[in-house]
Amino acid sequence: MLWKSADYTGWGRVLTATGEVARPERQATLAAALDDALAPAMGMRRSYGDAALNDGGRAIDMTRLDRMLDFDPETGILTVEAGARVGEIAAAFGPKGWLPAVMPGTGFATVGGCIGQDVHGKNHHHAGSFCEHVTAITLRTAKGIVEVTPEKNAALFRATAGGLGQTGVILKAKMRLTPCKGDVMVVTERRMTDWDDFIAHLDMSQATYTVGWIDATAKGAALGRGILEEGETGSGLMPTKIKRRKVPLDAPNFALSSPIVRMFNNAYYRRVPEKGRTVVRPISDFFFPLDKIHDWNRLYGKRGFHQFQCVVPLDQAPALREMLAEIAGSGLASPLAVLKRMGPGRAGYLSFPMEGYTLAVDFPNRAAARELIKHMQARAAEVGGRIYFAKDSLARAEEIPAMYPELDLWRKEVAKADPDGALQTDIVRRLKLRGAK
């Protein structure tokens, strides 16, 4: 396998790495490379920070190992290579009445990446996390190839689910798809007038898929206003050809100035009639709304952006409201802000979800935004919440043990699977996840 020196970044384009990268096309080629030494794997690098980076070391790009290997229509179990993308699985199986049980906000996420972060979707309150629907993982550890299941090697499975790739290189996985009515979504959109209105409707929602866009610039009586979307799968004729746009260059700094963001958010809020509406959309438009814009991260300019995402317990919703008030008062937020209710489902020691509310807000990479994010991360820890490793680029190592009380159990399994530390990545070193070394 040919190793080439490359410069690469996370999706936020703030943190970067330089090192040797290989892109195997066959499992045999990958196996030959790993016989020499383990190296961390990466997919489409849609984690915003440094979860997929290994500055100064080697990394294996798994995106060419993207084959769908087998499907059992009796059980709904699909076997795929780690580089298979969630959006392509949805496009292939949606018309046949099946979807991945959990899908993150981008269809470009690979199955290996979804396992490594134990991602959640718009149905977490019902379906739990991604790895709760994974029935087996074929893993290359320091000791060789092992098949890991929730029943067999249960501790290793829990260390792999949400484990940031530290137990081994994921070669392939078996995942249980969920039945669906077809390849379109019937979506009801309603305005939420303020924070209390939003929380009440999230709590009452019985829809299979629920997500809220929140206006992170609104203040005063309008604090927390936004749009609640509730979706169900359906069948019908929709255009199958997706029109994709490309951001050709980095946007200038003024493009996300406070007045422009407020103007955009006001127009976006009012696009939904006061009485609400129900619309039919292609599945990709509902689950992956930004995928139609290639390189949308360039809208934040050359300096890139950070995302703050935390989850707090149900009884700490007031703390989340306080954070939103700080964000609105800062004038730093972008139009991309999401509020969801989560259920208790999580499959791994370091899985992000907990039963509560999660808020995600993007910020252009500015000094004031970095300080605000650090403050809110500390606040989330104080109230028993946690931050999401897939989005993080600013957390501090001392904050993590309180957020993730099963960290020592994870460390124990990782030490057995990768005793030499060959799989460490930048986020693991930055947050000292594997210990003080």
> Residue 363 falls within a domain, yes or no?
yes
> Residue 271 falls within a domain, yes or no?
yes
What is residue 237's predicted lDDT score, i.e. its pLDDT? Answer: 65
What is the C-alpha to C-alpha distance for residues 433 and 398, in angstroms, rounded to an integer?
Answer: 10
Dump pLDDT digits (tens) for 347-377. Answer: 999 999 999 999 999 999 999 999 999 999 9
The whole-model pTM stands at 0.96
Element (H, E) at 210: strand 209-214
> Residue 258 falls within a domain, yes or no?
yes
CA distances from 101 to 37, 89, 121, 129 (A): 34, 11, 9, 9
Dump pLDDT digits (tens) for 131-183. Answer: 999 999 999 999 999 999 999 999 999 999 999 999 999 999 999 999 999 88
Q: Which amino acid is at 401?
A: P
> Residue 208 falls within a domain, yes or no?
yes
> Residue 260 falls within a domain, yes or no?
yes
Domain CATH code at residue 237: 3.40.462.10
Q: Which amino acid is at 281?
A: R
What is the C-alpha to C-alpha distance for residues 282 and 18, in angstroms, rounded to an integer?
Answer: 38
What is residue 170's predicted lDDT score, i.e. its pLDDT? Answer: 98
> Residue 295 falls within a domain, yes or no?
yes
What is the C-alpha to C-alpha distance for residues 340 and 172, in angstroms, rounded to an integer?
Answer: 30
Burial of 152 (C-beta count, 10 Å sphere; 0-12/13-18/19+): exposed
What is residue 89's predicted lDDT score, i.e. its pLDDT? Answer: 98
> Residue 21 falls within a domain, yes or no?
no
Q: Domain range holding 196?
A: 184-394
Number of domains in the chain: 1
437 pLDDT higher than 80 = no
> Residue 44 falls within a domain, yes or no?
no
